[in-house]
Structure 1
C-alpha cells in the first residue's frame, strides 16, 4: 500500500508539472502576441502623430519607362496631388511719428497629401488651380411685353419653388489660429514674375507633416516713407480714421488678410487688395484725438411756380472738426451731392468752404475737402443741396 501510494503521488506530480509547463508555454505565446500587437499599435501611433495616413489607405501607382539608349539614364517624375495649399497673410506696421510704414508678406503652408514632406525644396505659385480658364460670353437680353392676364394664369398654376440651401463657411477659426502662430525666421526668397504669375522659391528646405498643421514663412517685405492723413465721413460716422499711403505696394502680391499695427499696437485686420489700397490708402483705425461734431442736419420742403407746381427739397448739413493732437495733421473730409438721372429733376449743390475734389477717386457724387489743421484748431464744413421736380411725380432715391 505504501508503494502504490508513492507511485500515485509521483504520477500526480508529473502530471501537474506537464500541465504547468503547457500553461507556461501558452502564457509565453500569449505574451509574445500581446507584445507584437503593442509594437504594431505603437508604430501606428507614431505614424499618426507624424501625420501619415498610409495606415488607413495605401495607393500604389506603377509607371513603366522604356528608353532607346543603352547608357544609363536619369528619370525625373513629376506628379500632382490633392491636399496641398498655401495662402498669403500680411502685417502692416505704421509709426505715426516717423511716418514709416513696413509691410511683411508671409505664406501659410499646409498639406494633407498622405505623405510627409521631409527636407524638400519648395516653390510657391500665385496661380489658383480652381480659377476659370476661359472668359464668359456677353449676356443677351430677350424681351417681351407684360401681359397681365397671362401672368395671372402662370401664377395660379405655378408650383412654389423651394429655396436653395445656403452654405456659410466661417474662417474665424483658421484666421485666429494664423494670428496666434509665431513667425519663422526671415529668409531671402527668390521671387520671379512670369506674365502675371508670381513664383516664390524658398532658399531653405522645409519639412511639413501630412496632418494639416500650418507652417509660416516670410516671403517678402517692403518698407518706406508714407504720407499720413485723417479721413472722416461725418454723414456716416462722427469719427476720423488714420490713413497711410503705400507707394511701394506691388501687384505681384496675392490678395489675403492684412493685420494692422499702429505705433506697436495691434488694431485689427482688413483685406489686402492692391487696387483698393493703392487708390484709397491703408486705414489704421479710429483717431480719438479728432473730434467730430454735427452742427446742422435739416430737410425743408416747399412749392414754387403758380402753374407748373414744382416741388423743392432742400437739405443742409454742417459738421465741425477739432484737432486735439499736439501737432498739425492732414484732414480729409468726404461728403456727397445728389445725382440726377432724369431730365425733369434738377439738382444744385453748394459747399462751404469750396471742395477740393469732385467725383473723388472716380466715385460719382462723392466730394472731398482737404485741410491742414494746427493743434487745437477747428474747421467747419457745410453742404446744401436743392432738388426740384414736378409735384405730380414721386421722388425715388437710388
Structure 2
C-alpha cells in the first residue's frame, strides 16, 4: 500500500483526460468528525476505480477554507486538485430541505389565494358597470364574489403567517445559504484505491456541561460530565465516528517575538485656560453634539443509541473518543450526550463573608481534578433540589469549591458600633470603624462555619490602615491570596459566635477617600 500526503491546487487544464468519475456525498460518506469548541474536522473517504483519471466529488457546502484541505492516497497518485463553487443547487441539511419544500408549497398556495381575490375583485368591477340583466342575479353574483374574497383573504393571511414561521425556522438554521463546492482530483489509478480527505468547517461546536449533585447526608458529590453538540454546516452527519477535542484550531498563527520596552518622562506643560465661548457658539456646539449623539448607532457585542466516550489526555489538549457511531443533523437542535459519571467525597462547610453578603452559603470542597475536566457550565443540585448554575474554570493548582445555595439556618448579623472621623491637627484626619459579627447556628446539629474577612489594603502611601480582631484568625491567606483572614468555627446547635473588629484609617484631610 502506498500512502502519500500532499497539498496541491492548480487550475483545471484540458491536457488531462476528460474521463470523469463523478461521486455524490453519499458515495464518499463522512467517516469521522472531530468536534472542536468552535469548529469541526470532517474526514471522508473517496473510492477510486482502476483506470480512472478524473474523480469529482459534488455537493459539498462551500463553507471551509480550501487552502486547509488535506488528503492522503492509497494505491493511486494524485497529480492535481481543483475546486469550483456554484450558487446553483445550494446544499443543506435534511431539515432545511424539508423547510424549503414546505415554503415553496405555501408560496404556491398563497399565489392561488391571491389569484382568487383578484378574479373576484375583477368580477365585482364588471358587475358594477353592468346596466342590463336581472338585478337579483347580479346581487347574488356580487354576494358570491365578496364571500370568495373574504374566504381567500383569511386563507391567505393564515398561509402567510405559516410562511413567516417556517422562514424564521429556516433562517435560524442558516445552512441553506452556502454555495455548492465541487472537488476534482486528477489521478493515476493503475489499480483500485482511495483518497482520504479532511478539512475544517465552521458552524459546529461542542461545549462541556456538568451536573453536580450534592448529597449532604453522605457528604458526597455525583459529578456528571455531559457534552452539548450542535452543527449547522449544511451537511448531516450520519453514522459517523465522533471525537470531542478541547483543542482550538486557528486559521492564522502569529509568531510572538520579544519586543523592547521603552519608557519616557515629559516635563509638565502649563495649563492654558480656554477663552469663554460666546453663547451663540456654545448653543451651536451643544446642538451639534446632541445631533452626533442622536446619530450614534449602538452595536451589540446572536430510541437513539448514545455513545460512551473515553477520555484521552494529550500533550496540549484532551480528547473524548467513542467506538459507537452516531448521527447529528445540520439543524438548530442541541444534543446533550453523557460522557461519564463519577462520585467524589467532599468537605462540607458554611461560608460567611459579612462584608459582602448577610447570607451564609453551603460550600463543598473537592480535591483537585485532572485536566480531563475542561472548563464549562455546571448545574448545581442539593439533595435533589435544583439550586442554579455557574461557570466553572478547572484549575489543576486549586481545590474546587462549589456553592450549593443559601443556608437559611445560619443567622448572620453585622452590628456597627463606631464609624467616626476625627481631625488630627490641620493636615491629617483619621476614621475609626468598629463592628461586631454575630453568627448563630439554628440547626439541630453541629455545623462547621468558615468566616472570611479581608484586611483593608491601601493603594496610596498617604493612606495608612491598621486592623485588629478580638479573636485571632485561623489563617491570614486563602488560596494563595494574602490579607484574607479566615476563622474556622465549629458551632453546636443554637450556639453563637461573636467577633469584634476594629479598623483605623489615617490620611491627609484635604483629599478624599474611598472604600470605607
TM-score > 0.5, shorter chain as reference: yes
Report the counterpart of residue 124 of structure 2 in structure 1. Answer: none
Report the counterpart of residue 332 of structure 1 in structure 2. Answer: 450
Report the counterpart of residue 93 of structure 1 in structure 2. Answer: 213
Report the counterpart of residue 353 of structure 2 in structure 1. Answer: 233
How far 1:140 sits from its partner (Å)? 5.6
**Kept in 2: contact 1:88–1:107 (CA 8 A):** yes
Structure 2 vs 1, CA of residues 275 and 136 (structure 1 numbering), >3 Å: closer, same or farther?
farther
Report the counterpart of residue 269 of structure 2 in structure 1. Answer: 147
Say if 2:61 is the partner of 1:61. no
Report the counterpart of residue 300 of structure 2 in structure 1. Answer: 167
Q: Secondary structure at the match of 1:220?
A: strand
Say if 2:167 is the partner of 1:45. no
**Kept in 2: contact 1:230–1:329 (CA 8 A):** yes
Aligned residue among 193, 215, 223 for 2:313: 193
**Kept in 2: contact 1:255–1:273 (CA 8 A):** yes
Q: Secondary structure at the match of 1:200?
A: strand
How far 1:45 sits from its partner (Å)? 3.1
Structure 2 vs 1, CA of residues 218 and 303 (structure 1 numbering), >3 Å: closer, same or farther?
same
Aligned residue among 460, 465, 469 for 1:347: 465
Say if 2:485 is the partner of 1:367. yes
Structure 2 vs 1, CA of residues 355 and 386 (structure 1 numbering), >3 Å: closer, same or farther?
same
Greater shift in the superposed pair: 375-384 or 309-318: 309-318
Distance in 1 (CA, whole Å) between partners of 2:334 and 2:175 is 20
**How many residues are aligned here?**
337
Structure 2 vs 1, CA of residues 331 and 310 (structure 1 numbering), >3 Å: closer, same or farther?
same
Structure 2 vs 1, CA of residues 54 and 348 (structure 1 numbering), >3 Å: closer, same or farther?
closer
Between structures 1 and 2, the one with greater strand share: 2
Q: Deviations over 1:141-191 (max 9, x none)?
A: 6654453557959xx99x97876734155xxxxxxxxxxxxx987754122
Aligned residue among 75, 90, 99 for 2:195: 75
Query: What pairs up with 1:173-322 in 2 under 5 angstroms?
Result: 187-275=307-395, 278-279=398-399, 281-304=401-424, 310-322=428-440
How far 1:357 sits from its partner (Å)? 1.7
Structure 2 vs 1, CA of residues 266 and 361 (structure 1 numbering), >3 Å: closer, same or farther?
same
**Kept in 2: contact 1:53–1:115 (CA 8 A):** no
How far 1:218 sits from its partner (Å)? 1.2
Distance in 2 (CA, whole Å) between partners of 1:229 and 1:259 is 20
Structure 2 vs 1, CA of residues 363 and 248 (structure 1 numbering), >3 Å: closer, same or farther?
closer
Report the counterpart of residue 505 of structure 2 in structure 1. Answer: 387
Report the counterpart of residue 35 of structure 1 in structure 2. Answer: none
Distance in 2 (CA, whole Å) between partners of 1:318 and 1:131 is 58
How far 1:226 sits from its partner (Å)? 0.4
Distance in 2 (CA, whole Å) between partners of 1:261 and 1:384 is 39
RMSD: 3.6
Greater shift in the superposed pair: 320-329 or 89-98: 320-329
How far 1:207 sits from its partner (Å)? 1.1
**Kept in 2: contact 1:320–1:380 (CA 8 A):** yes
TM-score, with length taken from structure 2: 0.57
**Kept in 1: contact 2:413–2:437 (CA 8 A):** yes
Q: Secondary structure at the match of 1:85?
A: strand
Report the counterpart of residue 10 of structure 1 in structure 2. Answer: none
- Gap regions ≥5 residues in structure 1: 1-42, 170-182
Q: Secondary structure at the match of 2:197?
A: coil
Greater shift in the superposed pair: 244-253 or 107-116: 244-253
TM-score, with length taken from structure 1: 0.73
Aligned residue among 77, 86, 110 for 2:230: 110
How far 1:297 sits from its partner (Å)? 4.5
